[in-house]
Structure 1
Amino acid sequence: MSINRFTLQLDEIKAAYAAEPNPTVAVRLERIGRIEKMLAANEEKICKVLAADFGTRHSIESRLLEFQMVYQACKHVRKHLKEWMKPQLVSTPAFLGSSHAWTQMQSMGVVGIMSPWNYPVQLALVPAIAAFAAGNRVWLKPSERSSRTSGFLATLIQEYFHPIEFCVTVGGTEVAESFAALPFDHLFFTGSSNIGKRVMRAAADHLTPITLELGGKSPAIVDPSAKMNDAAASIIYGKLVNGGQTCIAPDYAIVHSSVSETFIQELQNAAQEQFANPEEFTGAIDEHQLARWHQLVKDAVNRGAKAIPLLSPAGNLGLAFMPVALLNVSEDALVMQEEVFGPILPIATINDLDSIIRYINEGPKPLALYWFGKEKKVMQRILNETRSGGVTINDTLLHAAIEDLPFGGIGGSGMGAYHGRAGFDAFSHRKSVLEVRGFLGLKFLGGTKLARPPYRKGVERLLRWLK
């Protein structure tokens, strides 16, 4: 599809938006309801195409981490949309007398969404729900790496929506580049930092507002005061669910040397307890991803790291990649320089809090941070002295499941946020409005009249009064 065809298609969607720039609450909720019905009617089929893309992916994992997030977003919007859409009164200074000021939320137009392959349903539909809630039209470009799911999702959306409401375009790198270069009213991208930079450059040509949901190296900090088995079980779940292919998965762990051996043993116990069944361990999205995991481990071991299997080989011989922890990892190893995005957990031993905080702050700002422990003063220092997109304390992943918590990164892990009200705000323009009225009902004292030239003593008196 050529860029000219893309442009014509965008013009058609923009024309449809211009004919209905302020859809009612009922229209917005009806569109969101169609997404919900579409998903509910096709859960089993979508689970099958997801499993086909990943090689192995349990239906419960898909229902829990993909579908439930979509249903939750729909439910939250239904409950709060009327309130979000209400104009908000603001106070006016005394010199404006009885003038009236407020902000009102206004839709932007056509929102472009570029969704990734790791959660190809959730990360396509949850931003679309937020965009519809704000009154926009949506054009989706799903990832080509999850080609079966992307293609099936495109077919479903075409069945439930007119393309001038919710349009989908599938394709590879060339299509994605053309898509990112279109003059959307807002562009929403979820993916890697490297691709995010390219998307941002393309959007800059049209000064398109952009939201970037990226990733990064999210630490899991295990304080000596933590209960080791609970911390290990939470970290293993966050690291191994979806085969580690989660943007907020714990990328590496930081532990005190005095508890490192206990922690590793508890990691192995937790991994065996949770993921002993190979049918419940999600596979790599493709051969390129699998090769990358093997390369990360090989590179780390060649630089002196010790690889410790997290699962017993018995019963797991069919796994294409055995989940592993890495000890004594060199700082220049690839696994410490890149986001892991797989079932590999580097473990760093750092014994004092100042060094932990410095270690985190010297790297790119992470999308998520996890802290385990009971010492509230230590927890507060971590919260106050580190920067990350979000935090879960004494567990992993869960902050992203709270609709009232904005989800997004900071610095290299992204810009902008969504989920709940934050998503509605991200795809809306907060318009400021002032209705000028006379002072005490006297029109000649209203607005800018007293400040207009020629500048005489009256303006001097006004300046003294305004101080």
Structure 2
Amino acid sequence: MPTNAHQAATSALDAVRRGEILAAVAALRDSFAAGTTRPIEARIAQLDALAAGLRAERPRLLKALEMDLGKSRTESLITELGVVAQEIAHVRKNLRGWLRPERFGPGLLLAPSSGQIRREPLGTTLIISPWNYPVNLALAPLIGAIAGGNTAILKPSEVAPATSAALTHLIRSHLDPAWVRVVEGAVEETTFLLEQRFDLIFYTGNGAVGRIVARAAAEHLTPTVLELGGKSPVFVDEGTDLAATARRIVWGKFTNAGQTCVAPDYLMATQATIDRLVPHLRQATIALYGRDPRRSRDYGRMVNQKHFDRVLALIDDDKAVLGGTTGADREARYLPPTIMTGVDWDDPVMGEEIFGPVLPLLEVSGPDEAIARINGDEKPLTAYAFSPRPEIEERFAEETSSGSLALGLTLAHLGSQTMPFGGVGESGTGAYHGRTSLQVFTHAKPVVKKPLRPDTLRLVTPPYRGAKRALLGRLLR
């Protein structure tokens, strides 16, 4: 049943706005029922339209990302528009093959017979996207919805308002409204959308809202994909090339000002390794963003002052060996890249996902303790390990659980079109990208066919006597 908070949120919507949302959902349901989205050629045409729209609206999207998150043109092309363009190309190239029925044998008791697995569209879907990568994480799941032959409502995040408006313009200008509609707004619109029945809800964001989405979906037994987050750890082993390691960690941590669901949240190493690593982390930060990152074109900003205040409160200047609160600018939403040493496991910075440009370094005795620490906490979206020893890499693969494990790199694996990406446990359910996106937005339907003659099913139907019972007994041992 809806909670009082939900009722209060939806009651704040006026009748006109409610009517608009209901009409959008109904139109998409009617379109799906009419078979609009089923032909493969029609799906490819919409993917082509999305690709064309992405190219046409590039200046508008780049400007919006700069306004909302201070993203440079190059960073936006690498982590947002470029990733989406590659995803469209990969899915379009392989879609026909992925949709080809897969044959299987129904088994001896059903012989002679044949079977196929066919992927059928789910119906009308809801995609609720976040603010930190507002283009990438809105359009990547939409690609899967279109490829799967579904209609979709896209709800972009109001926390990135310029990008929300740019996405709305892109969808309305370039895609068929019989396939995709956009609903902008805040909590009230999202809550009202969640009260409607969908055939899949795809949500990217934090765990608190993820629970709300899951509860709302349960009212209609709607399947969900929840792409959440958590404190993704990184372990640096003794003997690792610290200069190369530091550069990869700094890039993964401070890209998008740390507002990345798979950013290294905290780093574990022996104290001796930490002491040797810190100078390399400093040098890598300077190499990437200069001595004054505020003046760097490639260093982003916090999305708003609320998130600025939250992350600022996690910084302990007494433990900061780089950055800190000095130089932070609330008005400009600028937080400097910050590295903290001497951090304890019960410090405030370890109490939540940081989601900002702060990297705490924590001492462990070695890989045994690092693995134990990972296993003692909630399962992260990603875990990272840098080690020159293959046996240590294998231990992290075998002995820890996370949505993904990256060895020798950070962040870059998120852009792979051939790797399923998703969480486990508290970090989410379900996965997407490439073929996995098609699978999550479709139902794998078995189709079994058996001729009426010869009527071999007589063998498994009553009465069970004599030779039939003896034969079944031997077959089913």
TM-score, normalising length from structure 2?
Answer: 0.91
Does residue 41 (structure 1) correspond to residue 41 (structure 2)? The answer is: no
Q: Does 1:248 align with 2:262?
A: yes
CA distance in 1, matches of 2:347, 2:36: 52
The residue identity in structure 1 corresponding to 2:460 is A
Worse-superposed segment, 183-192 or 398-407:
398-407
Any residues of structure 2 matched to 1:1-400 within 5 Å, and which?
1=13, 3=18, 5-20=20-35, 23-54=38-69, 56-276=70-290, 277-298=295-316, 306-310=319-323, 320-400=334-414
Give the aligned residue type for 1:263.
L
Give the partner amino acid of 1:309.
L
**Counterpart amino acid of residue 315 in structure 2:** V
Residue 433 (str. 1) matches residue 413 (str. 2) = no
Per-residue Cα deviation, 1:32-66 (whole angstroms, up to 9, x for no partner): 11111111012112111111112x22111111100
Shift of 1:343: 0.2
Q: Matched residues in 2 for 1:87 and 1:279: separation?
A: 49
- Unaligned 5+ runs, structure 2: 1-12
Deviates more, 1:411-420 or 1:157-166: 157-166
**Pairwise CA distance, 1:375:** 0.2
Q: How far did residue 314 of structure 1 move?
A: 9.8
Identity of paired residues, percent?
33
Cα 1:312/1:330, change in 2 over 3 Å: closer
Q: Secondary structure at the match of 2:230?
A: coil
Gaps of 5+ in 1: none
- The alpha-carbon deviation at position 4 of structure 1 amounts to 5.6
3-state SS of paired residue (1:280): coil
CA drift of 1:179 comes to: 1.6
**Which letter maps to 2:26?**
D
Work out the CA distance in 2 between the residues paired with 1:146 and 1:388.
28
Give how far 1:311 is off: 9.1
1:462 paired to 2:477: no
Residue 164 (structure 1) shift: 2.6
For 1:223-268, what per-residue CA distance to the aligned partner results, in whole angstroms no more than 9, with x for missing partners? 1121001111100000000110010000011111112111111111
Query: 1:21, 1:109 within 8 Å by CA — same for their partners in 2?
Result: no
Rate the CA distance shift 1:170–1:312 in 2: closer, same or farther, 3 A.
closer
Amino acid at match of 2:321: I
Distance in 1, matches of 2:87 and 2:216, equals: 30
**Alignment partners' CA distance in 2, 1:210 and 1:61:** 30
Deviation for aligned residue 1:271: 0.4
What is the letter of the counterpart of residue 455 of structure 2?
F
The Cα shift of 1:26 comes to 1.4
Whole-angstrom CA distance in 2 between matches of 1:91 and 1:465: 21
Deviates more, 1:90-99 or 1:422-431: 90-99
- What are the superposed Cα offsets for residues 333-372 of structure 1, whole Å, 9 maximum, x if unpaired? 2321211100000111112222111100000101011111
Residue pair 1:268, 1:310 contacting (<8 A) in 2 also: no
In angstroms, what is the RMSD of aligned CA positions?
2.1
After TM superposition, the score normalised by the length of structure 1 is 0.93
Paired residues of 1:271 and 1:310 also in contact (CA < 8 A): no
Residues 294 and 371 of structure 1: is their aligned pair in 2 closer, same or farther, counting only changes over 3 Å?
Answer: same
Residues 21, 107 of structure 1: 8 Å contact kept: no
Deviates more, 1:322-331 or 1:192-201: 322-331
Structure 1 residues 21 and 453: CA distance shift in structure 2, 3 A: farther
How big is the shift at 1:320? Answer: 2.6
